[in-house]
Amino acid sequence: MVALSAVSIYGDVPSKDLPIKENQAWKPVGVRGVLARSIAELLAVYREEHSVEFTALALANVYGDRQRADGGVVGAFGHALAQREAPVLNGDGRQTRDFLYIDDAVDALVRAATRGSGLVVNVGTGVATSVSDVWWQMAGPDGLAPLTGQRGRSDVPRFALSPTRARIQLAWAPWTELSVGLRALGRGPR
């Protein structure tokens, strides 16, 4: 069984502890983080009692083609560009995320179906990129300046996920650099 976890399971991790490894203490933030922790704990108990294998993947910010405007940072920015509007950032734009191209994420999901038994495995690039940097990569130098908004209560200010366990347990590594993935969407640096 493959389950999806959430980065918010780790909570607000200090910059010195990035990229986040799976042995990082769980300090979930918000409903999504608490739910991710609960699912991982329930799966571990179910595995122990019923010998059902699982792998829980904590995915970075997945982006890709046909992403909805409300489906993440890249989707929202793509929508703003299509509408010729300035995006509203949740915060000041300095918050960082680990951006993972959809093809890389799907490859990890397929591999997890037969590997990584009983583990939470981070699936990310290990690279923290500011939300503001992503906007400027997509909009180019002539893009509208983004507006700053209120940071969400359950938003973590920074994260990047170490792909080390995924390399070992899933024989997986990300191959799409952010600039290449954005370019594939027609939104990246030329």
190 lies in a domain?
no
Predicted TM-score (pTM) of the model is: 0.91
189 lies in a domain?
no
Q: Identify the CATH number of the domain in which residue 161 sits.
A: 3.40.50.720
Structural domain that includes position 171:
2-184
Q: What confidence tens digit (pLDDT) does each residue in 28-80 have?
A: 988 999 999 999 999 999 999 999 999 999 999 999 988 888 888 999 999 99
60 lies in a domain?
yes
Residue 85 corresponds to which tokens in the numbers above?
């509007």
Give residue 187's pLDDT: 67
Q: How many domains does the chain contain in total?
A: 1
Residue 126 corresponds to which tokens in the numbers above?
């290990």
Residue 170 corresponds to which tokens in the numbers above?
């899933």
Give the C-alpha separation, 116 to 176, whole Å.
22
Give the C-alpha separation, 102 to 108, whole Å.
10
Give the C-alpha separation, 140 to 132, whole Å.
12
Give residue 185's pLDDT: 85
164 lies in a domain?
yes
149 lies in a domain?
yes
Give the C-alpha separation, 176 to 166, whole Å.
16
Give residue 169's pLDDT: 96
8 lies in a domain?
yes
Give residue 186's pLDDT: 74
Q: Which segments of the chain have a pLDDT < 50? A: 190
94 lies in a domain?
yes
- Are 64 and 181 in contact by the 8 Å Cβ rule? The answer is yes
